[in-house]
Structure 1
Amino acid sequence: MTEFITIATFNFAHEVMVLKTILDREGIPYLFQNENLVSIDPFASLAYGGIQLKIHPNDIETVQTILDDLNNNLKIV
């Protein structure tokens, strides 16, 4: 895990649910740092730097494509 890098940061736990499903389906290893902490105390998100998506450097292009697709196509009202 020391080789993992942060590629994205989220403020709330509900923002990572769809992304987790996609990463699992694609078989990409990941870690959401601070996820449990922010789930318990959402107001602590800013103090701890949010929920950080950490991935292996070899997966940067694939995960960036997934993130771009979600940002362009996922509309949550």
Structure 2
Amino acid sequence: MDHFQTIASFNFAHEIIVLKSILQNEGIPFLFQNENLISIDPLASIAYGGIHLKVHKNDFERVQNILDELNNNLKIV
């Protein structure tokens, strides 16, 4: 996990559903830090700074392109 970096943060668990599916289909290793905690207690999102998407530094640009595409088309990211 030393080579994983945070690329985006989300306030609620429902915001990551589409992105999680895309990353899995693309075969990109990722981690949503605090996902379970915030799924159980959504108000904890404020205290923990949200759900952090962490990806390997080698995949950073590829994931940024996916995030940009989602933001342009779905307006959820």
Calculate the TM-score normalised by the size of structure 1: 0.95
Give the equivalent residue in structure 1 for 2:27.
Answer: 27
Unpaired runs of 5+ residues, structure 2, are none
Alpha-carbon distance in 2 for matches of 1:21, 1:71:
15
Write the deviation string for residues 7-62 of structure 1: whole angstroms up to 9, x where unpaired: 00000000000000000010000000000000000011010010000000000111
Alpha-carbon distance in 1 for matches of 2:48, 2:18:
22
- RMSD over aligned Cα atoms: 1.0
Q: What is the letter of the counterpart of residue 40 of structure 2?
A: I
Alpha-carbon distance in 1 for matches of 2:65, 2:75:
17
The alignment covers a number of residue pairs equal to 76
Identity %: 74
Give the equivalent residue in structure 1 for 2:65.
Answer: 65
Alpha-carbon distance in 1 for matches of 2:75, 2:6:
24
Calculate the TM-score normalised by the size of structure 2: 0.95
Unpaired runs of 5+ residues, structure 1, are none
Q: What is the letter of the counterpart of residue 5 of structure 2?
A: I
Verify: 1:39 aligned to 2:39, yes or no: yes
User: Stretches of 4+ moved more than 6 A in 1?
Assistant: none
